[in-house]
Structure 1
């Protein structure tokens, strides 16, 4: 946990980049207000918060690559203490998420100090779904969870779905600021880095070069070309040098970190994309859902003369008059 007197916000964005000298492309993500809003709304235990924030960062890295208006859905079903996790990325910029867990099993894990994401998830499956809308086919990839971290699961997903060498790094930190009165203020930052080896990368996307800064050696500013096999090995070695705190430090921008890593190899960055904590639920959408139920099924939903629905993603509470609902239920 990091203690700071001033918490930096407005970090919520994904930054695409390309490294010409290593033939790789990738994205970096920093999330602050997004993950903090989701976490505070649900009030989960801290161990669950860290897992959820990591999953949101991973989903934002993957979902932000969609070139159409659709959804990227990351879903975990497991036998572990956390038995359900869903992150829903609605292109181009909205994310929402929730978790279900076994309170007793989670308590036992925490007491044993087993709070890493892979320990909370245990055995199960991670499913990644690309939904392009009702008139398009869905693409779905399934990865077995057998003690894997989310980073490892992402690597397995790319190897079986795209067969591209891929490296993913994820990190989460909680930041606490002192208050003059009342309890300390807590915020969360999730960071992530994804790089893929693409030896035939396109050169026709508008870009801006990262500023070389004030490095005194002109040789350090030159693009360094290497063979394809060596290029990916070098890229992996560089990514492996990244510490968790570098991915979550609000004072270290994505551009700064990319320059630190790849300044010898010609890094270029593209326009960043904002990420927002935004749910897609609405009274109208829920009303449409009632059309799938029979009138008899609707009667079982009535409690104290009304039908209540709470969105698991954003915790918004809706109340409906049974007579109004009966009019839209299928007969």
Structure 2
């Protein structure tokens, strides 16, 4: 696929609702966000794919939450990829973009030619929500299962929120007109509207007895869920990441019988919140003796941001709770 220029709907999340089915959803397209995330690191291809999938999930999930500050997705494993961490920062004002950052920690010697998800072994998928000062952060965890990070996210919503949820994602490198490659990603999220219904009891039909979306619906709701999923199954990968079909047209193509309504699109950008002040704050718990142990042979205290690669070089006498003013 050749992409000549940036498209108007790149780096946006479009919310929608299917009134006939009582189902809400999101369509996301990421371009510059992914390139901003991945250009900071020299990841092997399977690790790039995992980070791209995680960033796309973060954009879709973050836009569904009435978020005042930060939503984080994390994967921790004992496999070749030890950790993947993403953050979604809510817009600071009306009309402002949300910001996404992501990075992965991995053992390069253990990364192999197997599928990306196979680089993750014996771990968990977590969603953390922090609404800012004066609130208690929330965390929900589910095992790694289902063969993809999207399946893990679906399992999280089934176990922790009891909300039937489905993701259809596609991502990969596209070729620009000048022959250079850039990452692109697109995806759809659908979710049954939250209701004050009793939680499901007992085990589910998923791996290891985990609940699945199908375990949470019955009657008319089950029929609606099956019908909408049938439409999602027909989506083509080029419809998700290609240049020819705007998200609004995709929704009409998939769900015209479901009476889709769209809302204002949310722009997203690559962005990091690191700063020298935050580094100093993180070091403020250490004594002068501790700071001395962190000091380099050149007589400096240094720190690097894992997310954006920013490098901070500080005078050791100016950090820690015994810093000289």
* Alignment TM class, shorter chain as reference: 0.7 to 0.9
> Structure 1 residues 326, 26: CA separation in 2 closer, same or farther (over 3 Å shift)?
closer
Contact 1:87 1:98 in 2 (8 A): yes
Paired residues for 1:67-216 under 5 Å: 67-92=66-91, 93-106=98-111, 109-110=112-113, 114-116=114-116, 118-146=117-145, 148-179=147-178, 184-198=179-193
> Structure 1 residues 9, 286: CA separation in 2 closer, same or farther (over 3 Å shift)?
farther
Residue 300 of structure 2 corresponds to residue 306 of structure 1: yes
Q: Distance in 2 between matches of 1:170 and 1:177?
A: 21
SS in 1 for 2:144: strand
Name the residue aligned to 1:214.
none
Q: How far 1:198 sits from its partner (Å)?
A: 2.3
- Name structure 1 gaps, 5 residues minimum: 202-225
- Name structure 2 gaps, 5 residues minimum: 92-97, 197-218
> Structure 1 residues 199, 318: CA separation in 2 closer, same or farther (over 3 Å shift)?
closer
The runs of at least 4 aligned residues of structure 1 exceeding 6 Å deviation read: none
Residue-by-residue CA offset, 1:139-180 (whole Å, 9 max, x unaligned): 11101014631111011111112212111112102112253x
More divergent stretch after superposition (283-292 vs 64-73): 64-73
Q: How far 1:329 sits from its partner (Å)?
A: 5.2
Contact 1:127 1:141 in 2 (8 A): yes
Contact 1:122 1:147 in 2 (8 A): no
Residue 239 of structure 2 corresponds to residue 252 of structure 1: no
Q: Distance in 1 between matches of 2:67 and 2:84?
A: 25
More divergent stretch after superposition (97-106 vs 129-138): 129-138
Contact 1:7 1:175 in 2 (8 A): no
Q: Distance in 2 between matches of 1:153 and 1:321?
A: 44
Q: How far 1:68 sits from its partner (Å)?
A: 3.4
Paired residues for 1:283-294 under 5 Å: 283-294=276-287
Name the residue aligned to 1:272.
265
> Structure 1 residues 200, 74: CA separation in 2 closer, same or farther (over 3 Å shift)?
closer
**Structure 1 residue aligned with 2:317, among 317, 323, 328?**
323
Q: Distance in 2 between matches of 1:164 and 1:76?
A: 21
> Structure 1 residues 22, 317: CA separation in 2 closer, same or farther (over 3 Å shift)?
same
TM-score, normalised by the number of residues in structure 1: 0.84
Q: How far 1:123 sits from its partner (Å)?
A: 2.2
Q: How many residues align?
A: 294
> Structure 1 residues 39, 62: CA separation in 2 closer, same or farther (over 3 Å shift)?
same
TM-score, normalised by the number of residues in structure 2: 0.85
Residue-by-residue CA offset, 1:62-116 (whole Å, 9 max, x unaligned): 111232321110011101111110001111301111111111111xx22xxx133
Q: Distance in 1 between matches of 2:295 and 2:61?
A: 40
Residue-by-residue CA offset, 1:299-331 (whole Å, 9 max, x unaligned): 11110111111100000111001111256559x
Q: How far 1:138 sits from its partner (Å)?
A: 1.5
More divergent stretch after superposition (92-101 vs 226-235): 226-235
Residue 68 of structure 2 corresponds to residue 41 of structure 1: no
SS in 2 for 1:22: coil
